[in-house]
Amino acid sequence: MSGKPVRPHTRLGKYELGKTIGEGSFAKVKFAKNVENGNHVAIKILDRSHVLSHKMTEQQLKKEISAMKIINHPNVVKIYEVMASKTKIYIVLELINGGELFDKIAQSGRLKEDEARSYFHQLINAVDYCHSRGVYHRDLKPENLLLDSNGVLKISDFGLSTYAQKEDELLRTACGTPNYVAPEVLNDRGYVGSTSDIWSCGVILFVLMAGYLPFDEPSQMALYKKICRAQFTCPSWFSSEAKKLLKRILDPNPLTRIKIPEILEDEWFRKGYKPAIFTEEEDVNVDDVAAAFNDSKETFVTETKEKPVSMNAFELISRSQSFNLENLFEKQTNGIVKRETSFTSQRPANEIMSKIEEAAKPLGFNVHKRNYKMKLQGDKSGRKGHLSVATEVFEVAPSLHMVELRKTGGDTLEFHKFYKIFSSGLQDVVWHSEAKI
């Protein structure tokens, strides 16, 4: 039976690249293994031409990556090194595998006030440190807040941050997710990075404790009006001290909005507060960042394909809980709503592709096919734009295929709802083992 060939391993210098674990407008993030020491990392891959087509110069990008690399804090995802090829920039990052903080909210609806405060402590510690180093995130939201295996918060994705030498220099790039951005950013009158980050922290704190957004309207115009007037109502279960702090953080006037030193002294904030304890690295070397952008062929790395060691397909299935349909679509691992999933099928690749298309179209998705890859694009705009899902079919044995699905755009909760319905249309092609895993 014909099908997609087994995927070979890709080597990038000392790293062996694995599956894609994230995708955005500027970059793709892949799981990777350092073959020299066995450590696992994440590698963010940026396409140079794509970045340039979005009006970001390589000089700007170099500046931003250098800013990210100098950040060394227990609550910020660490950059280990930067590499480049003629067409791509590779950023080697600390791998965080505890899921998004957003997943906890999606699972429980809301967090207890003490738990929310603990995460807020870590968030403020990290943001305060970043600001002290001249780095402003500008896209703080629950999806950019990850948890490590010990439940420690880590801020990710400083791709939109700007490295400004002067605090009074106004940043004029309106960016970020609308529900979380400060009024002055929406007004496009220039803004100070630190005060706009504080606003976003306030929205995050509200979401952690309420389980929903303080500002959420179906039309963008109505949403902007609510944000610019700071029209929000705290739920009855918020303590009076928490409400008082939120009113000071979600102040539409950036000049009178509370600053971080004042937050650190706030009565509600100080309950159970522990400052971050860590050793600062002296003189972080950013030579690799400079080398990545100097177009020197001597420092370029190349992606090379290597055939993997073959594994019996049934052994592969028995080792993976995710191949069981019940685990795949109904249950959640450790209470986390997944942004990606996979299943196996004994049907021909073309039949699988047709079935996916057949299941997606009635749900309002446009289907774009290329080879054994498909992009499902929602035709309705959700809370965070159009939901989009990438699917790919791999042959793991002559009579067995593996299908991967992952969210590439839109809201995580909407993706979760989508694949619950979508999965019922795939029952005919999913392979069920006789033994329950």
What's the topology of domain 9-95+288-296?
Answer: Phosphorylase Kinase; domain 1 (3.30.200)
Give the pLDDT of residue 389: 86
Residues 6+ apart with CB under 8 A from 262: 248
Question: Is residue 379 a contact partner of residue 315, using CB atoms and an 8 Å limit?
Answer: no
Point out the annotated binding site for ATP.
Answer: 44
Give the pLDDT of residue 282: 64
Query: Phi/psi at 142 (nearest 5 deg)?
Result: -55, -35
The single residue listed with the structure tokens 């029209």 is 231
Q: What is the pLDDT of residues 223-232, one digit of tens each?
A: 889 999 999 9
Give the pLDDT of residue 57: 64
Quote the CA–CA distance of 70 and 407 in Å, as a whole number: 31
The domain spans of the chain are: 9-95+288-296, 101-270, 313-424
Radius of gyration, alpha carbons of the chain: 23
Kindly report the CATH number that applies to the domain delimited by 313-424.
3.30.310.80
Give the pLDDT of residue 316: 54
Q: What is the mean pLDDT of each run of 10 residues along the chain (437 residues)?
A: 55 85 74 89 83 60 76 88 85 87 80 94 93 80 85 77 42 60 77 84 94 86 89 94 96 94 96 85 74 68 59 50 40 49 82 88 84 77 65 77 79 74 82 51
- 203, exposed or middle or buried, with CB in 10 Å at 0-12, 13-18, 19+? buried
Point out the annotated binding site.
Answer: 44
The second-level CATH assignment, the architecture, of 101-270 is: Orthogonal Bundle (1.10)
Number of H helices, E strands in the chain: 15, 16
Give the pLDDT of residue 373: 80
Quote the CA–CA distance of 31 and 134 in Å, as a whole number: 29
Is 139 among the catalytic positions? yes
Question: Which one from 139, 157, 197, 411 is the annotated catalytic residue?
Answer: 139
194's enclosing H/E stretch is helix 193-210
Quote the CA–CA distance of 65 and 245 in Å, as a whole number: 33
Q: What is the pLDDT of residues 317-356, one digit of tens each?
A: 544 544 443 333 333 444 444 667 778 888 888 888 888 8
Query: Phi/psi at 80 (nearest 5 deg)?
Result: -90, -50
Give the pLDDT of residue 292: 74
User: Amino acid identity of 178?
Assistant: P
Tell me the DSSP string of 351-383: HHHHHHHHHHGGGTEEEEEETTEEEEEEEEEEB
Quote the CA–CA distance of 60 and 157 in Å, as a whole number: 16
